[in-house]
Amino acid sequence: MAYSRRTPRQMQAATDSVAVAPASPAPARAKTMRSPRTGMMRQYDLVERVRSYNPDTNEDLLNRAYVYAMKAHGTQTRASGDPYFSHPLEVAAILTDLKLDDATIVAALLHDTIEDTEATRAEIDHIFGHEIGALVEGLTKLKRLELVSREAKQAENLRKLLLAIADDVRVLLIKLADRLHNMRTLEFVPPASRRRIAEETLDIYAPLAGRMGMQEMREELEDLAFHTLDPEAHAVVMQQLDALTDRNRNLIGEIESQLSRNLQNNGMAAHVSGRRKKPFSIWTKMERKSIGFEQLSDIFGFRIVLDSVEACYRALGVVHTTWPVVPGRFKDYISTPKQNDYRSIHTTVIGPGNQRVELQIRTEEMDRIAEFGIAAHAFYKDNVGSPTERLKRESNAFAWLRRTIGILSESANPEEFLEHTKLELFHDQVFCFTPKGKLIALPRKANVIDFAYAVHTDVGNSAVGCKINGKFAPLSSELQNGDEVEVLTSKAQAAPPSAWEALAVTGKARAAIRRATRTAVRDQYAGLGRRIVERLFIRAKIEYADDKLKGALPRLARSSIEDVMASVGRGEIKASDVARAMYPDYKEERIGRFGAKKNLATKLKSPPDAARSTSAIPIRGINSDLPVKFAPNGGAVPGDRIVGIVSPGEGITIYPIQSPALKDFEEEPERWLDVRWDVDDTTPQRFPARIRVDNVNEPGSLAQIATVIAEHDGNIDNIHMSRQSPDFTELTIDLEVYDLKHLSAIIAQLRAKAVVARVERVNG
Ligand code: MN
């Protein structure tokens, strides 16, 4: 079947309506969404359309927008050869079918002006006000994003953005109308793009319309896309549908008139209409269930629209007493509305000719919401009722919108959205642009630092300032959806400030900052190391030369001179080691620099040989003069992941990685040393650990605890007691254990004791 842009009615006749004459005039439902247009709509027509549902419309505003958009698009033409302006005009017309407010209609007229003409946001703000300016800008961002995603295959992001940007749902409504008009006029577009646009419609826009409760919009988008993507299948389904409709013509009329008659006899004014499934949904069902057309039982359905909820239930009673009910098909969404506010009674009966007949019973209001969803609910301007009532309706509308967004964001809600699983709402993300229009997706709360690193590590490292949407802003500014971010960089900045690490939200930025900071710190250490080495050489009156050191690199197990110098600066190797590597005859002058070294060694009961002091604590990654000790409150035992913290003039303190004390050093990454244990199962050494035990105050309880520890080969160094309450004493016990396994075993044994209420390890 061929349909043309100018004869959508043909298409409608072929796809939509069942040949059933309505028993009563159709309810005031927009039918013009698909009405044919012969030539371009006039300015007056548009104003009339709006006035028909909104008598208070600002005609002057509409007229100005009409003229402005027409002039802005000037002589531009569409692929069809029509003036470009016909497009925004049709989009606006579609939105009048949804009875939307003036701002939406005006924004629809202007929706392509910023992107495609000389018009600017500032000018639109100036002429039409900020509200309309913001709507048009929202659409401009979406369009720009579309262009980008097309090239970059970022369709996934586009899908997310569509919903993330929904702080004004009217932007999405205009976007959907825009897409609908483009789909209706798709035949003029070259075949390759035609296919892509249809796929995008099926993947993104149709499900979006569905999720926003706009079933009529969804169905039309789906069918237009289906027709483009698989014309043969579309034609086959259509043929079958037509044939079936022909065969059942009498039956359908019969059912319809029986229903109407029965309801009328019971004093109910009902509008009964037959409806057949759309080709696309039939096709999907055939595909999904791998069944043939003949096996589909629910191609026809009937809708009974009444004037009150009470009438709905009475109608249900009439239906159920007239025909046998098909069990298991009754659903009352009036008393229990669906989450998206869909309300209706569903039931299936065995009607005339033994046909299963699906019925939906609802009020006009429910019908409107079922068809137009968010548009019907949120922005229906009918000026009915008092201002208070209108206000109430409006706040209900926003509650509905919030709820809808809530539903959209729930990924798993199989009953509601089984068919629309492709679309998800990503409210945890923000989407921003580079000045060249590249899309950058970031987690919520991300700032410009994250953005800069997402663009490129070099951009992040050299970032010194930024502009957001053309205005200077701090780098720590939290980004909003659609922000255009320009990062200002400077070559003078060798490394980012280490404080950025705490500001950044994304792992990528934090890692990059840490790396860059480390490199910068390494450079500093290398500079320091070089001075130390040079000083030693001067003192020892020997000659230093880079070339000579180069030859000695293997002996120092370093790959570059820089490496050697940084290691010296960090204290990992001694300057005298460097001298010895270069001049094997070199004799080190012995200078005791760290008095504390001896004390520490004694404490650890290792041989008091200063030269071997660092091996008293069996840790790799340290090879220097600096004394090594454990964190004072709790220590670390093999099995703990550990880090060394360098304290100038004091030495290196080993902390377990979980130690809360490490927080104090977060701002100084240059003090952190990567260290590892140098022990195995045979190492006989013990290590300090601290535990806290809450024990019940009863005679002998302390002895029990000491016994457990002793029986499990733990050494108690010290016990500190403090009474917390009459019943409990808190014990802080310093132990010596072999490793983490040993410590855990002791803790487990303690926990098994009745006198012990709680045991916890204390991390220094
Ligand atoms: Mn457009």
Query: Which pTM does this prediction carry?
Result: 0.51
Cα of 165 vs centre of ligand 1, distance in Å, is 18
Give the least confident one: 25-39, 307-321, 369-383, 449-463: 25-39
d(CA 401, CA 39): 36
* 433-455 confidence digits (pLDDT tens): 788 767 777 888 899 999 999 99
Contact 651, 631 (CB under 8 A): no
Say whether both 566 and 603 belong to one domain.
Answer: no
CA 141–ligand 1 middle distance (angstroms): 12
Percent of the chain at pLDDT > 90 equals 19
On whether both 114 and 195 belong to a single domain, the answer is: yes
Q: Which domain holds residue 698?
A: 687-761
> In percent, how much of the chain has pLDDT > 70?
76
Q: How far is CA 702 from CA 535, 733, 762, in A?
A: 58, 11, 19
Q: Are strands 672-674 and 642-647 parallel, antiparallel or unpaired?
A: antiparallel
Which amino acids are annotated catalytic?
A: 115-116
Q: Which two tokens stand for residue 359?
A: 């019925």
In a domain, 323, yes or no: yes
pLDDT-based confidence at residue 297 (cuts at 50, 70, 90): low
Q: What is the pLDDT of residues 344-377, one digit of tens each?
A: 999 988 877 777 788 999 998 888 878 777 666 5
84 and 188 in a single domain? The answer is yes
Overall average pLDDT of the 549-569 stretch: 87
Distance 340 CA to ligand 1 centre (A): 28
Half-sphere exposure of 244 (CA within 13 A, CB side): 21
Tokens standing for 738? Answer: 């072999």
Residues 259 and 338 placed together within one structural domain of the fold: yes
Cβ–Cβ < 8 Å for 205, 176:
yes
State whether 490 and 514 are in the same domain: no
Q: How far apart are CA 66 and CA 109, in angstroms?
A: 7
What is the mean predicted confidence (pLDDT) over 58-77? 94
pLDDT tier, 471 (very low <50, low <70, confident <90, very high otherwise): confident
494 and 637 together in one domain: no
- Which H or E run contains 530? helix 507-539
More confident residue, 516 or 127: 127
User: Is residue 412 scored above 70 in pLDDT?
Assistant: no
Number of domain units in the chain: 6
Task: Check residue 446 and give its pLDDT.
Answer: 92
Residue 410 lies in a domain: no
Residues 6+ apart with CB under 8 A from 265: none
Given the DSSP bridges, would you call strands 300-306 and 728-737 parallel, antiparallel or unpaired? Answer: unpaired
Query: How many angstroms separate the alpha carbon of residue 179 from the centre of ligand 1?
Result: 7
Instruction: Tell me which DSSP letter residue 41 carries.
Output: P
Specify the CATH number for the domain of residue 745: 3.30.70.260
Q: Is pLDDT above 60 for 700?
A: yes
CA 480 to ligand 1 centroid distance, Å? 24
Q: Spell out the residues 6+ positions from residue 360 whose beta carbon is closer than 8 angstroms to its own.
A: 301, 302, 303, 304, 344, 345, 346
Question: Based on the domain organization, do 604 and 715 belong to the same domain?
Answer: no
**Looking at the structure, do residues 168 and 47 belong to the same domain, yes or no?**
yes
pLDDT of residue 591: 38
Last residue of a domain, one of 469, 489, 505: 505
| DSSP per-residue letters across 90-118 | HHHHHHHHTT--HHHHHHHHHTTHHHHSS
**pLDDT at site 31:** 36
Residue 122 pLDDT exceeds 90: yes
Q: Strand pairing partners for 654?
A: 630, 644
Distance 79 CA to ligand 1 centre (A): 13
**β-bridge pairing 687-696 and 672-674:** unpaired
Q: Over 50: is that where the pLDDT of 7 sits?
A: no
pLDDT of residue 353: 72
* Cα-based angle 336, 338, 340 (whole degrees, multiple of 5): 140
Q: Name the token pair of 370.
A: 């079922």
Q: What is the pLDDT of residue 223?
A: 94
Please give the distance, rounded to the nearest whole angstrom, from the Cα atom of residue 101 to the centre of ligand 1: 19
**Which of these ranges, 236-250, 334-348, 626-640, 673-687, has the smallest mean pLDDT?**
673-687
Supply angle C-alpha 241, 245, 249, rounded to 5: 180
Report the distance separating Cα 143 and Cα 480, nearest Å. Answer: 18
Report how far residue 450's alpha carbon sits from residue 484's, in angstroms, rounded to the nearest whole number: 14
- Nearest CA-CA partner of 204 in 151, 141, 142: 142
**Host H or E run for residue 259:** helix 249-265
Do residues 250 and 307 share a domain? Answer: yes
Which element (helix H / strand E) includes 177?
helix 169-184
- Quick check: is 386 in a domain? no
Looking up tokens 């590892």, which residue turns up?
676
Confidence of residue 300 (pLDDT cuts 50, 70, 90): confident
Q: Which two tokens stand for residue 153?
A: 């295959």
Report d(CA 33, CA 336) in Å as an integer. Answer: 31
pLDDT (0 to 100) of residue 764? 67
Cα(111) to ligand 1 centroid in Å equals 6
Residue 729 amino acid letter: T
338: left (phi over 0), alpha (psi -120 to 50) or beta: beta
Q: Given the structure tokens 């896309």, which residue do they identify? A: 225
| Measured distance CA(630)–CA(213) in Å, rounded | 64
Asked which of 193, 211, 228 is the last residue of a domain, the reply is 228
**Whether residue 159 sits in one domain with residue 217:** yes
733: which 2 tokens? 């016990």
| Domain boundary residue, one of 175, 193, 228 | 228
Q: What is the pLDDT of residue 516?
A: 84
Tell me the pLDDT tens digit for each residue of 319-350.
Answer: 888 888 888 888 899 888 776 678 899 998 88
User: Does residue 47 lie in a domain region?
Assistant: yes
| Rounded distance from Cα 110 to ligand 1 centre (Å) | 9
Are 135 and 203 found together in one domain? yes
In a domain, 561, yes or no: yes
Residue type, 454: A
SS (H, E, C) 658-720: CCHHHHHHCCCHHHEEECEECCCCCCCCCEEEEEEEEEECCCCHHHHHHHHHHHCCCEEEEEE
β-pairing, 642-647 with 300-306? unpaired
Domain harbouring 192, CATH code: 1.10.3210.10
Using the mean position of ligand 1's atoms as its centre, give its distance from the Cα of residue 665 in Å: 55
Q: How confident is residue 105, by pLDDT bands cut at 50, 70 and 90?
A: very high
Q: SS3 of 646, please? A: strand
Q: pLDDT value at position 180?
A: 96
Q: Tell me the pLDDT of the chain averaged across its residues.
A: 77
pLDDT band at 428 (very low <50, low <70, confident <90, very high): low
Greatest Cα pair distance in the chain: 120
* Residues 185, 301 within the same domain: no
Asked if pLDDT for residue 380 goes beyond 60, the answer is no
Q: Is the pLDDT of residue 564 over 70?
A: yes
Q: Which CATH number covers residue 462?
A: 3.10.20.30
Q: Say how far apart CA 364 and CA 370 lie, in whole Å.
A: 10
Distance 135 CA to ligand 1 centre (A): 13
Asked if residue 33 belongs to a domain, the reply is yes
Distance 140 CA to ligand 1 centre (A): 9
The answer to whether the CB of 109 falls within 8 A of the CB of 89 is yes
Q: How far apart are CA 742 and CA 340, in angstroms?
A: 58
The neighbourhood of ligand 1, an ion, using CB within 5 A, equals: 112, 178
Higher pLDDT, 708 or 527: 708
> What whole-number distance in Å separates Cα of residue 336 and Cα of residue 249?
35
Amino acid 49: pLDDT: 92
Q: Specify if 284 maps to a domain.
A: yes
473-494 average pLDDT score: 85
Q: Which residue has the higher pLDDT, 152 or 645?
A: 645
SS3 readout for 44-60: HHHHHHHHHHCCCCCHH
Contact 505/429 with Cβ under 8 angstroms?
no
Distance 58 CA to ligand 1 centre (A): 23
Question: Contact 692/760 with Cβ under 8 angstroms?
Answer: yes
Residue 286 belongs to some domain of the structure: yes
Supply the angle between the helices 59-73 and 102-110 in degrees, to the nearest 10.
Answer: 10
Q: Reduced to 3 states, what is the DSSP secondary structure of residue 399?
A: helix
Mean pLDDT lowest among 40-54, 157-171, 492-506, 651-665:
157-171
* Band (207; pLDDT cuts 50, 70, 90): confident
Measuring CA to CA, how many Å separate 486 from each of 115, 362, 497?
19, 53, 20
Q: What residues form DSSP beta bridges with 77?
A: 83
CA 317 to chain centre: 47
Q: What's the pLDDT score for residue 705?
A: 85
